[in-house]
Amino acid sequence: MSIFWSPVVHALSPYTPGEQPKLDGLIKLNTNENPYPPSPHAVAAIQAELGEDGDRLKLYPEPTGLMLREALADHFGIDSTNVFVGNSSDEVLAHTFIGLLKHDRPLLFPDITYSFYPVYCGLYGIDYRQIALDERFAIRVDDYIEARPGAVIFPNPNAPTGRLLPLTDISRLASALPDSPVVIDEAYIDFGGESAVALIAEHANLLVTQTLSKSRSLAGLRVGFAIGQPHLIDALTRVKDSFNSYPLDRLALVGATAAVRDREWFDQTRRRVAASRDRLSEELESLGFEVLPSAANFLFVRHPQHDAAQLAAALREQRILVRHFKAARIDQFLRITVGTTAQCNALVDALQSLV
């Protein structure tokens, strides 16, 4: 606290990111990073942009991220006017909260979801209500429709549960609330779901956000994007140009563009992660864990006889990091990122000795 803080800063309750320890040799299964490296084409493109002497860094990047928007438009079979790009999907989401989700009636999102959402609401003074997931931790679309909200946002698959909502439910929700923006945060969709990007032509109120941090192994490059009809994209562009005209630097632009164009690498790594997830899920079940069905690159699990916080602490002593949330309804769960085969095996070995 300081007398120099503005009243806005006094009132903030910031997001707490998962630990990024400096220790080497840790098995890091706590922040849903991809265990495989990014596309070699992305790395080569960044090196080429840097050149011998970095001379190009003298110049500002192209402000609208057009080369990346065109690569994403090709990838999804849409137009570049349907695409907004930003410095991480967290930033794209922040612009979305102020640009599309602040209305007279409250914004709705699940009681168990990405914990950044209430933080943006605090920052931007957005009235919100949390809707309880059902007892199996699934989203019930009818609860949102009946509440007549100002807007709706949730991840699909949801985080930290990993549960996937079928596209038919998203379509039904968007149709039932034609005057309310509906935002689907698809940070994990590439690991096992169908993207709602397929629905944007039919729904003027539907915006889909994605990130290159998880399925394209580029969490360190900070690139995210949103897809929707041009009037929604325009709202985000207006916010961006009132905040930072050049959110993507030259290295991020060329690296992200090459990663999006390398479909083969993308398909290969996401399939490997999904296969490891399904194997890990079976192994944890055989150790007595309850494992929620996951379409993401993480599992949300609890053990009927072992306290989750104690398990997380015991794993940490064996240099394995997983994420535990001290929150109502989920404080007996662990969120475990799917690692390489070797990392998953090390986790299962450690848990075998603990449970």
Ligand X SMILES: *Cc1c(COP(=O)(O)O)cnc(C)c1O
Amino acid at site 265: W
**How near is the Cβ of 20 to ligand X at its closest, in Å?**
12
Cβ closer to ligand X: 85 or 141? 85
For the chain, the residue count is 355
Looking at 82-90, 261-269, 282-290, 336-344, which segment touches ligand X (CB under 6 A)? Answer: 82-90
Tell whether omega for the bond before 160 is within 30 degrees of 0, i.e. cis: yes
In this structure, what token pair is assigned to residue 316?
């940490």
**How near is the Cβ of 209 to ligand X at its closest, in Å?**
7
Residue 29: its H or E element: strand 27-29
Cβ closer to ligand X: 80 or 297? 297
Residue with tokens 């994209």: 233
Distance CA 119, CA 112 (A): 14
**How near is the Cβ of 230 to ligand X at its closest, in Å?**
23
Looking at 53-61, 84-92, 197-205, 307-315, which segment touches ligand X (CB under 6 A)? Answer: 84-92
Within 183-202, which residues bind ligand X (CB under 6 A)? 185, 187
Note whether 213 binds ligand X by CB under 6 A: yes
Cβ closer to ligand X: 185 or 262? 185
Strand bridging mode 27-29 / 320-322:
parallel
- Alpha helices by DSSP H, listed for 26-116, are 40-50, 66-76, 89-100
Note whether 155 binds ligand X by CB under 6 A: yes
Cβ closer to ligand X: 217 or 281? 217
Contact 187, 210 (CB under 8 A): yes
Cβ closer to ligand X: 119 or 187? 187
* DSSP reduced 3-state for 23: coil
Note whether 219 binds ligand X by CB under 6 A: yes
Cβ closer to ligand X: 97 or 351? 97
Cβ closer to ligand X: 224 or 339? 224
Contact 188, 296 (CB under 8 A): yes
Question: For the CA atoms of the chain, what is the radius of gyration?
Answer: 20
Phi, psi dihedral angles at 118 (to 5 degrees): -65, -25
**How near is the Cβ of 214 to ligand X at its closest, in Å?**
6
Distance CA 80, CA 85 (A): 10
Residue with tokens 């609890």: 302
Looking at 40-48, 211-219, 243-251, 328-336, which segment touches ligand X (CB under 6 A)? Answer: 211-219
Distance CA 68, CA 50 (A): 18
Note whether 159 binds ligand X by CB under 6 A: yes
Cβ closer to ligand X: 303 or 324? 324
**How near is the Cβ of 221 to ligand X at its closest, in Å?**
9
Note whether 224 binds ligand X by CB under 6 A: yes
Cβ closer to ligand X: 155 or 247? 155
Note whether 114 binds ligand X by CB under 6 A: yes
DSSP 135-168: TTS---HHHHHHT--SEEEEESS-TTT-PPPPHH
β-pair partners for 154 = 184
Within 87-106, which residues bind ligand X (CB under 6 A)? 88-90
**How near is the Cβ of 5 to ligand X at its closest, in Å?**
25
Size of the site for ligand X (CB under 6 A): 13
The count of other CB atoms within 10 Å of the CB of residue 234 is 14
Within 49-78, which residues bind ligand X (CB under 6 A)? none
| Residues of this chain that bind ligand X (CB under 6 A) | 32, 88-90, 114, 155, 159, 185, 187, 211, 213, 219, 224
